[in-house]
Amino acid sequence: MKIILISNGAEKVRTLSLNSWAKGLLSVLLLGIPVAAGTLLGVKIADGRWELVVENTVNQMQHELVQQQQEVDQGRAQAAETLTAMTVKLAEMRARLIRLDALGERLTQIARLDDGEFDFSDAPGVGGPKGSSAVETTDSLAMQRELSSLFDRLDRRLDNRSAQLQVLTSMMSDNRLKREQTVAGTPINKGWMSSRYGMRADPFDGDQRWHAGVDFAGKKGSEIVAVASGVVTWSGKRSGYGKMVEINHGDGYVTRYAHNDKNLVTLGSIVKKGQQIALMGSSGRSTGPHVHFEVYKNGRTVDPASYIHKTNR
């Protein structure tokens, strides 16, 4: 290899001959320095970018960890609130069920229903073919299904208790109405029976005459009460009866309360069983304070004795 040197004036020209070692050294100097500088510059740049990437990644991971921790804390708080709410609701439903059972048992005893007709202590018999359902694989879904099933069972039991109470209330109302309308008992709270139904000696002339009712003697002004609920169809004076109250009880039954000192109800009034309707007196054809009590069935008088001793059941 030869190197030609030319001066500025081009007056002198020199030629240098290089051996193999000189050639290698010159090649290293000309090519190695730029490559080394470029490599060093690349390494510096790469080092800076890597640190920046790592720093950004760490910051992002830390931010995501904070968010995840917040979500976990929030989920835990919501789960606790949900569990508390469900526990409270479960306790309320159980308390309602206990109260309904106790009330139902008490009403059953009061209504004197047959044993076993209404049993509030046992779950009602239900059934049916097993329906299809989706299969869940996670524990959380299984727990949700179990809790939902528990509340559904409680809701059904509450609905059943409510339905039984409604039926029981309706039956009690019907029974109470029936008892109210049933002619039974005496028309007085104090006094005694002084004359029976049928043939008897007339108290005024001694002749044998038909007595269409029974008499209850007592103190003047004593209470006279209705033996059954009904509608007042007469309240006033009537020949031979004096001041009289007549009550229609339905189903063909009518009762009369005569010789009163004062009537306390008016025509068309609705009276209840045991309600005071008059004061005992001696008006009309009477020898002293008493109430003349008659019972009509389908328009004909019947012996009141069977109704006086009749129970309300």
Q: What's the CATH code of the domain at 218?
A: 2.70.70.10
Separate counts of helices (H) and strands (E) for the chain: 4, 14
Q: Is residue 222 packed enough to be buried (19+ CB in 10 Å), middle (13-18) or exposed (0-12)?
A: buried
Residues 19 and 105 in one domain: no
Contact yes or no for 161/100 (Cβ under 8 A): yes
* Of residues 289 and 110, more confidently modeled: 289
Mean pLDDT of all residues in the chain? 75
Q: Is residue 293 packed enough to be buried (19+ CB in 10 Å), middle (13-18) or exposed (0-12)?
A: buried
* Of residues 161 and 218, more confidently modeled: 218
Residues 200 and 273 in one domain: yes
pLDDT at 109 over 80: no
Question: Across the strands, what pairs with 14?
Answer: 5
The least confident of 5-9, 249-253, 297-301 is 5-9
**What mean pLDDT do residues 97-122 have?**
62
Residues 205 and 276 in one domain: yes
Q: What would the pLDDT profile of 127-147 be if each residue is shown by its tens digit?
A: 555 555 544 456 666 766 777
In a domain, 74, yes or no: no
Listed residue (271, 270, 289, 293) closest to 279, CA to CA: 289
pLDDT confidence of residue 105: 67
Residues 281 and 255 in one domain: yes
In a domain, 127, yes or no: no
In a domain, 130, yes or no: no
Residues 177 and 196 in one domain: no
pLDDT at 254 over 50: yes
* Of residues 176 and 241, more confidently modeled: 241
Close Cβ partners of 292 (under 8 Å, ≥ 6 residues apart) = 213, 214, 215, 241, 256, 257, 258, 259, 286
* Of residues 256 and 168, more confidently modeled: 256
**What mean pLDDT do residues 252-274 have?**
95
The least confident of 17-31, 150-164, 235-249 is 17-31
pLDDT confidence of residue 112: 60
Close Cβ partners of 15 (under 8 Å, ≥ 6 residues apart) = 2, 3, 4, 5
pLDDT confidence of residue 136: 46
In a domain, 134, yes or no: no
**What mean pLDDT do residues 186-196 have?**
93
pLDDT at 80 over 60: yes
Q: Give me the sign of the Cα torsion angle 120, 122, 126, 131.
A: positive
pLDDT confidence of residue 16: 56
In a domain, 92, yes or no: yes
Last residue of a domain, one of 131, 160, 181: 181
pLDDT at 68 over 50: yes
* Of residues 302 and 100, more confidently modeled: 302
In a domain, 131, yes or no: no
Listed residue (235, 233, 247, 244) closest to 181, CA to CA: 247
pLDDT confidence of residue 221: 95
Tell me the residue range of the domain where 246 lies.
Answer: 192-308
Residues 89 and 57 in one domain: no
pLDDT at 42 over 90: no
Residues 111 and 58 in one domain: no
User: Given pLDDT bands bounded at 50, 70 and 90, which one contains residue 259?
Assistant: very high
pLDDT at 46 over 80: no
**What mean pLDDT do residues 185-191 have?**
93
User: Given pLDDT bands bounded at 50, 70 and 90, which one contains residue 252?
Assistant: very high
pLDDT at 298 over 90: yes
**What mean pLDDT do residues 283-312 have?**
90
The least confident of 65-74, 79-88, 122-131, 173-182 is 122-131
Residues 174 and 221 in one domain: no
Residues 37 and 96 in one domain: no
pLDDT confidence of residue 309: 82
In a domain, 72, yes or no: no
Residues 214 and 260 in one domain: yes
Residues 109 and 169 in one domain: yes
Q: Which amino acid is at 254?
A: V
Domain total of the chain: 3
Beta strands in 55-207 (DSSP E): 192-195, 198-201
* Of residues 51 and 306, more confidently modeled: 306
In a domain, 300, yes or no: yes
Residues 206 and 289 in one domain: yes
What is the DSSP-derived secondary structure letter of residue 267? T
